[in-house]
Structure 1
Amino acid sequence: MSELFTQTTTNIQEKSNLIWSVADLLRDYYKPHEYGKVILPFCVLKRFNDCLIPTKNKVLETYENVKHLEVKSGFLERAAGYSFYNISKYDFGKLTEDATHIEDNFRNYIIGYSENVQDILENYEFDNEIKKLANNGLLFLVIEAFNKPSAYMGADKITSVDMGYIFEDLIKRFSESYDEQAGAHFTSRDIIYLMTDILISEDKDLLIEEGVAKTVYDMTMGTSQMLTCMTERLKALDSEADVRTFGQELNPETFAIAKSSALIHGGNADNMKLGNTLSDDKFPNYKFDYIISNPPFGIEWKTAKREVEAEHAMGDNGRFGVGLPKISDGQMLFDLNGIAKLKDDGKMAIIHNGSSLFTGAAESGESEIRRYMIENDWLDCIIQLSTDVFYNTGITTYIWIISKNKPLHRQGKVQLIDASKMAEQRRKNIGNKRYDITDKCREAIVKVYGDYRTKEYDFDGKVCESKIFNNEDFGFNRIQIESPLYDENGEIVTKGKKNQPVPDTSKRDYENVPLVEDIDSYFAREVKPYNAAAWIDKSKTKVGYEIPFTRYFYKYQAPRSSDEIAEIISSQEASITASLKALFGERESK
């Protein structure tokens, strides 16, 4: 496997701390939430700078030979060994040799980069910061700090995986100082590896035998670490794998990091796109083998409302024709985007909070999206994770696996896995993250997924439970039950020639009847014995889908007996009395 995708023993926290120490230089001129405007682009530049050091002279020689040509980028990329290059005579080392002309020299260095790097820097609005740093005598000091031997970031010492961790930590610190949702930018690596391993688990033998040629898409890519990890996993199966990654990101700064990461590890940076996936789809008509994403949940989609509703009106010709969720939470719109972009044999892993399981009444947007997945037999599995595994939230989260081409034994069914106990407590919290999904825990969950059985597993005292359901188990008919209106004499009020009873709207009720059950039989058994005059208004019956995950895995625990409770109270009283005697006895003796 390429060394670019393996993790080294580099102390990520130490490197991140060193880079962040540059903030000490900025303190008098920048507010804490502004530090990232300088540190992040400099971090990207230093990564590029150090990766290009070994081929610097070769690039300059090549440029002298081809500078008269109209198209020369291909020659320079080959000389650099990357899909980017720099033709300036300067690098960080040479820049520190001339403090007097630092701004002019640094701008010459910046202009020397290829256009794809220029595009990255534009997303940081870096020109404004260069001027501000130079005017306040800081530019040389910052470059000097980044040029220390301990700040070296070449690919021979720091892999793309390590660099991803550094970027993540910096963004987290920057976001926290600005009171932003830091975790919105990235997902911890232990969760990503679980998603990747589930995605490829059923394909591994075939991929090893036939070789890997796959496309991978992340519709909310952040710093692109999901794409990096997916590439890593596929290349572990086939070192010559042809893995093409595609991603879209809303935040300009994290997009810039994602694009720089693609340049470093040899991916096509042109496949990294900036923009709102919901309102400005950069990959129309694309189809992908794998999709892996952690879209924002509990976040309004108001800014994309006009475009999303217009695409919804297109019906089957758009991504969102199935239905629209409430404006307050757009996470299920990403399900529809992903499904629209999966190949006929494609597979998607996407993270949601609990609301996607049940929010929305029958025929609401959320219910219709669930119905769309299930009735097309695309919903493969939902895995409940432990609480407190994300940096920015402690809530329960779920990985949904969507498969356009389930194997025969999974067709017509959905697997639910309660893996909420499959995590280990960290020695030190990182934000809200108190637990890690360790290698052993991940391997156990993947095994449970692959076994595909209704069974409770015990892995060294950690319980992981799997249950298999038929698709129709999640559907229901929402029936409207009416009761008659009575007049002052206790007679049923009727209307029309057929003397139909007038419904009393104050007594109107609703019941959810499982799809697998006959409505009339249910009504006769559950309603009629308690309200003989009631009837169903069948014109108002609606079909809905929900996944009551918690109910399926609920285990009844009998309450303690009164004798047991009395014994506990008595024991505690005795302990308190003994403590009080010891305390007051001690005082008396003094």
Structure 2
Amino acid sequence: MMLFADIEFDKELFSAANKLRGRIAPSEYKNYVLPLLFLKFLSLKHEHRKMEILEKIEDKSEDKKDKKEIQKVLENKAEYTKVNVFYIPQEASWEYLLENADSESIKELIDNAMTILESEYDELKDALPKIYKNSNIPNEVVSDIIKLFSQEIFSTHNGRNVDLLGRVYEYFISNFASTEGNRGGEFFTPSSIVKLLVAMLEPIKGTVYDPACGTGGMFIQSNKYSENSENLTFIGQEQNELTIKLAKMNGILHGIFPKIKQGDTLLNDQFPDLKAETVISNPPFNMKDWGAERLSLDDRRLIGPVTNSNANYMWIQHFLHHLKDGGLAGFVIANGALTSNQAAEKSVRKYLVNNDYVDCVVQLPEKMFFGTGIPSALIFLSKNRDGSNNHARREKEILFINASSLGTLVNKKSRIFSEDEVKTIADIYHSFKFYNNEAYSESGFYSKVHIDEIIEKEYKITPSLYTGIKEESENEIGFNQVVEEYKLLLEEQFKQSHKLQMKILKNLEDLL
């Protein structure tokens, strides 16, 4: 199983990064590569739509139409925008950039393409970075990357069925910028976690809100889950301006236009009156000194005290506040939040349990996030546990799922869930949410627990406390461990071999 099985051009991305090596910091690679890929796929969508229009003209026409008349139809902007495709003016097209790739002004032409697109479409305003002209990247390097992205492998990928920019972003984080995977406790959400959250939440209609939206991966997967039904509205907040631009580009590539505002979510909530059907997020883990003292005591989001030593429970209070009656929230949290005895945090956890908001907790395996070994979990809060809206009554009961033994190591530092595992976990939760049968447990995996038992355990909500331990024979454990170790060793050797090949090729190029 490959970590990046949903993109087929990882070797080309490695080559693009190799061209940037020594010019800019590895953590900056994505900032220059992703906008170029965006332009490439925006133009590709334009060309696909252009061919569709041409085919319709030919099918409907008994006689040959005048070339000028055909050209007029092909240049009709409305023919593109009505199917959520941008009409791309010539000087903003990938074809134009490729034709001028060897020009001394190529970096300026790229920035100009961004400016043209922003002036043409309100949806793109302030979304595209004009960073190439003033960069210290040589023209020939930019030219090489444009030519690289013009290869056939990029032209055959329509970018529609996968969170393309998110996956490329993930690729650069994991391969070239280990510190970028962790920005002050903030960890990029791998695709299998995004898929699991969305599969369990089942966003079909209404507002999907992510107050720490990053590159918009939660929005892309939610839209895919709803089969692009256009019944979802996407709202998010993000502190980093460049990340917002990437999120907007990501959304546009998939035909959605998320409303994202910049700001510190906890201290400067940009959507104070928002109530969403679905809240989904991977907030920064264990944020210290986040500014709790600046929070007003009458802040409407508060259901209990907060502490400046850790922002986890402020995030949880924020999620609950923005959840609409009948809605469902699902989010990633550090495992420590499930058992914390810190007075303020435990007080909020008691409130959530006693007032029947906690619906399900999923314990995740280790090594699910790039750049951190912090154990993590998923918590689902519900404002629909009374049996309404075709849901089962789940009052005073919480479902615990221990998925810590699932997933597959794809290298020494990263583990992912398979599609089958995502479906299995989601099905267990959906069965609880919609049917809630009497006997509902599997030793070591999942268990439905009455809150009286949770109160006895001092409101600790770690799944393994309630699911028990799965029994495995010594032979099974030993065999699995050996296979896993050999698999990792072989993959590491393949990776080193690839790096050596690239280094040899680079040395040969330098000799020419």
The counterpart of 1:114, out of the listed 93, 97, 118, is 118
What's the counterpart of residue 201 of structure 2? 199
CA deviation after TM superposition for structure 1 residue 131, in Å = 2.9
Q: Which residue of 1 aligns with 2:476?
A: none
Please tell me the residue identity of whatever aligns with 1:112: I
Q: Deviations over 1:68-96 (max 9, x none)?
A: xxxxxx96695484375543434222233
Deviation at 1:297, TM superposition (A): 1.5
Instruction: Please say if residues 457 and 465 of structure 1, whose CA atoms lie closer than 8 Å, have aligned partners that are also in contact.
Output: yes
Stretch deviating more after TM superposition (384-393 or 441-450): 441-450
After superposition, the C-alpha distances for 1:190-209 in whole angstroms (9 at most, x for unaligned) are 33333223223xx9xxxxxx
User: Whose relative contact order is higher, 1 or 2, with alpha carbons under 8 Å and at least 6 apart?
Assistant: 2
Aligned-partner SS, 1:96: helix
Q: 2:191, 2:271 → 1: CA distance?
A: 26
Higher radius of gyration, 1 or 2: 1
- Matched residues, number: 439
- The one-letter code of the counterpart of 2:279 is I
Q: 1:20 to 1:169 in 2, by over 3 A?
A: same
1:452-511: CA deviation from partner (whole Å, max 9, x where unpaired) = 4554427xxxx42303213x5444xxxxxxxxxxxxxxxxxxxxxxxxxxxxxxxxxxxx
Q: Are positions 1:377 and 2:394 aligned together?
A: no
**In the alignment, is the contact (CA less than 8 A) between 2:402 and 2:467 conserved in 1?**
no
TM alignment of 1:25-36, pairs within 5 A: 25-36=19-30
Q: 1:248 aligns with which of 226, 234, 237?
A: 237
* Mapped partners of 2:181, 2:352: distance in 1: 36
- Provide the residue aligned with 2:220 in structure 1: 228
Q: Is the 8 A contact 1:88 1:113 kept in 2?
A: no
Q: Which residue of 1 aligns with 2:398?
A: 415
Give the gaps of 5 or more residues in structure 2: 54-67, 472-512
Q: So what's the TM-score if we normalise by structure 2?
A: 0.74
Q: 1:177 to 1:349 in 2, by over 3 A?
A: closer
Aligned equivalent of 1:53, options 28, 47, 52? 47
User: Quick check: 1:39 aligned with 2:64?
Assistant: no
- 1:449 and 1:395, CA in 2 relative to 1: closer, same or farther beyond 3 A? farther
Counterpart amino acid of residue 419 in structure 1: N
User: How big is the shift at 1:112?
Assistant: 1.4
Alpha-carbon deviation of 1:291?
1.0
Task: Report deviation, 1:39.
Answer: 1.8
2:345 to 359, 366, 383: 366
Structure 1, unmatched stretches of 5+, are 1-9, 66-73, 204-211, 476-513, 516-543, 558-590
CA separation of 1:42 and 1:174: change in aligned 2, threshold 3 A: farther
Deviation at 1:342, TM superposition (A): 0.8
What is the deviation of 1:354? 1.9
> Could you say what secondary structure the match of 2:328 adopts?
strand
Q: Is the 8 A contact 1:385 1:398 kept in 2?
A: yes
Matching of residues 2-17 of structure 1 within 5 Å? 12-17=6-11
Instruction: Give 1:21's match in structure 2, choosing from 12, 15, 35.
Output: 15
In the aligned structure 1, how far is the partner of 2:464 from the partner of 2:205? 39
Matches within 5 A, 1:297-336: 297-300=285-288, 302=289, 304-305=290-291, 308-315=292-299, 318-320=300-302, 322-325=304-307, 327-336=308-317
- Structure 1 SS opposite 2:135: helix
Q: Percent identity?
A: 23
* AA matched with 1:227: F
Q: Partner of 2:305: helix, strand, or coil? A: coil
Tell me if structure 2 keeps the 8 A contact 1:90–1:109. yes
Coordinate RMSD, CA, aligned: 3.8
In 2 relative to 1, CA 112–366 (structure 1 residues): closer, same or farther, beyond 3 Å?
Answer: same
Separation of aligned partners in 2, 1:90 and 1:435: 38
Q: Counterpart of 1:152?
A: 155
Deviations 1:293-335 (A, max 9, x none): 12121222x3x41xx54444114xx22352203x232122111
CA distance in 1, matches of 2:124, 2:11: 25
Change (3 A) 1:82 1:171: farther
Change beyond 3 A, Cα 1:150–1:383: closer
CA distance in 1, matches of 2:113, 2:238: 28
Contact 1:290–1:346 (CA under 8 A) maintained in structure 2? yes
Q: Structure 1 359/184 Cα, relative in aligned 2: closer, same or farther at 3 Å?
A: same
- Retained in 2: the 8 A contact 1:324–1:365? yes
Partner residue, 2:205: 213
TM superposition shift of 1:183: 9.5
CA distance in 1, matches of 2:196, 2:37: 29
Shift, 1:121, TM fit: 2.4
> 1:278: which partner in 2?
266
User: Which structure's residues are more often strand, by fraction?
Assistant: 1
The one-letter code sitting in structure 2 at the alignment partner of 1:337 is H
Question: 1:141 aligned to 141, 144, 156, which one?
Answer: 144
Match of 1:357 among 338, 352, 357: 338
CA shift digits 1:146-202 (9 cap, x unpaired): 3233333763x65343453233213433432767459945323333333223223xx
Q: Match for 2:167: what amino acid?
A: Y
CA contact (8 A) 2:181 2:187 kept: no
Q: Is the 8 A contact 2:166 2:217 kept in 1?
A: yes
